[in-house]
């Protein structure tokens, strides 16, 4: 089974509107971390937001928030007030276990977001 | 603060040639990761180091690939001999017990 699932083929949003990018995960670990990265057309991978499995509140970073639903094993990224510069590929990733030596990430296949003016 | 530095940014080579990709992690980070990204396979972890020691190289596709980390501030990924199917973007990332920060990547084209 895939550990990270991103099934939306491509998303479109009107500028200034909010958009939700879906991510579901699969793990039997109690301690894990969830990450979102942005990859614009220029190619770099930009870290956006992190949620730890024990964090009681949803993570927020500026216009980004993570809708963490532990029982449903989902970690959706919400982008508020979309901007043209938000057009990019978005990757969800998971780190299983704690932040010790075994800190590799498993990435989903990504979702393409296009912001319309 | 300087981020992860990778060189070269672009590499075009002919099949059979040796290719060496270089990475300088963020100062103070203790883990370093090499990824490969292609349209077909997405983002794949090749190998990662913790405190300069290789921890997991199960993603290295075959013996043509090798990676070293001689010190905390430098790592190399070598492909010898290179093949057209090795064409991809190779990312290096580093972390300190947490979030991984990526370098700009090396775009490799093997003709």
CB contact under 8 A, B105 and A43: yes
CB contact under 8 A, B98 and A103: yes
CB contact under 8 A, A100 and B97: yes
Task: Specify the pLDDT at position A8.
Answer: 87
For residue A89, pLDDT beyond 80: yes
Q: How far is B101 from chain A (nearest CA, A)?
A: 7
3-class DSSP state of B96: coil
Task: Specify the pLDDT at position A100.
Answer: 62
- By the 8 A CB rule, do A22 and A113 touch? no
CB contact under 8 A, A101 and B101: no
Q: How far is A34 from chain B (nearest CA, A)?
A: 10
For residue A78, pLDDT beyond 70: yes
CB contact under 8 A, A103 and B91: no
> A interface mutation test: which of B49, B56, B89, B102 has the most A CBs within 10 A?
B102
For residue A60, pLDDT beyond 70: yes
User: What whole-number percentage of chain B has pLDDT above 70?
Assistant: 99
For residue A20, pLDDT beyond 80: yes
Average pLDDT over residues A42-61: 94
User: What whole-number percentage of chain A has pLDDT above 70?
Assistant: 95
Average pLDDT over residues B75-100: 95
Please give the structure tokens belonging to residue B102: 């990526």
- By the 8 A CB rule, do A65 and A15 touch? no
Please give the structure tokens belonging to residue B78: 């070598």
Task: Specify the pLDDT at position A104.
Answer: 84
Task: Specify the pLDDT at position A86.
Answer: 98
Q: Which residue has the higher pLDDT, B2 or A4?
A: A4
Average pLDDT over residues A70-94: 97
CB contact under 8 A, B31 and A110: no
For residue B14, pLDDT beyond 60: yes
Task: Specify the pLDDT at position A103.
Answer: 75
Average pLDDT over residues A83-103: 85
Q: Which residues contact A91 (CB under 8 A, 6 or more apart)?
A: A6, A36, A37, A38, A39, A45, A107, A108, A110, B43
User: Which chain A positions have a beta carbon within 8 Å of B91's beta carbon?
Assistant: 45
Q: Report DSSP letters for chain A, one per residue.
A: --SEE-----EEEETTS-EEE--EE----SSEEEEEEEE-TT---EEEEEEETT-SS--EETTEEEEEETTTTEEEEEE-S--GGG-EEEEEEEEES-SSS---EEE---EEEEEE-
CB contact under 8 A, A43 and B99: no
Task: Specify the pLDDT at position B36.
Answer: 97
Which residue among A103, A105, A110 places its CB closest to the CB of B97?
A103
Q: How far is A106 from chain B (nearest CA, A)?
A: 8
Q: How far is B41 from chain A (nearest CA, A)?
A: 9
Please give the structure tokens belonging to residue A5: 């699932």
Task: Specify the pLDDT at position A2.
Answer: 72
For residue A101, pLDDT beyond 60: no
Q: Which residue has the higher pLDDT, A57 or A96?
A: A57
Assess A107–B contact: CB distance below 8 Å, yes or no: yes
User: Which chain A positions have a beta carbon within 8 Å of B89's beta carbon?
Assistant: 43
Q: What's the pLDDT band for A56 if we cut at 50, 70, 90?
A: confident
pLDDT tens across B48-80, in order?
999 999 999 999 988 999 999 999 999 999 999
For residue A45, pLDDT beyond 80: yes
User: Within 10 Å of residue B31's Cβ, how many Cβ atoms?
Assistant: 24
């Amino acid at each position: 089974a895939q550990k990270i699932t991103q099934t939306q083929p491509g998303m479109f949003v009107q500028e200034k509107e909010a958009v939700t990018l879906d991510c579901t995960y699969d793990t039997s670990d109690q301690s894990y971390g969830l990450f979102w990265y942005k990859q614009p057309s220029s190619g770099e991978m930009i870290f956006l937001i992190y949620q730890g499995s024990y964090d009681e509140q949803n993570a927020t970073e500026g216009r980004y928030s993570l809708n963490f639903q532990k029982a449903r094993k989902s970690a959706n990224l919400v982008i508020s007030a979309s901007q043209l510069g938000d057009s990019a590929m978005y990757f969800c990733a998971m780190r299983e276990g704690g932040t010790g030596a075994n800190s590799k990430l498993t990435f989903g296949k990504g979702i393409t977001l296009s912001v319309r003016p | 603060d300087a981020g992860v530095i990778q060189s070269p940014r672009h590499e075009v080579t002919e099949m059979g040639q040796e290719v060496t990709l270089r990475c300088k992690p963020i100062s103070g980070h203790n883990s370093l990761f090499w990824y490969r990204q292609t349209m077909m396979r997405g983002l794949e972890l090749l190998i990662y180091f913790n405190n300069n020691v290789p921890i997991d190289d199960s993603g290295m596709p075959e013996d043509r690939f090798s990676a070293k980390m001689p010190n905390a501030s430098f790592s190399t990924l070598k492909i010898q001999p290179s093949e057209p199917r090795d064409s991809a973007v190779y990312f290096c990332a580093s972390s300190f017990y947490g979030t991984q920060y990526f370098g700009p990547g090396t775009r490799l084209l093997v003709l």
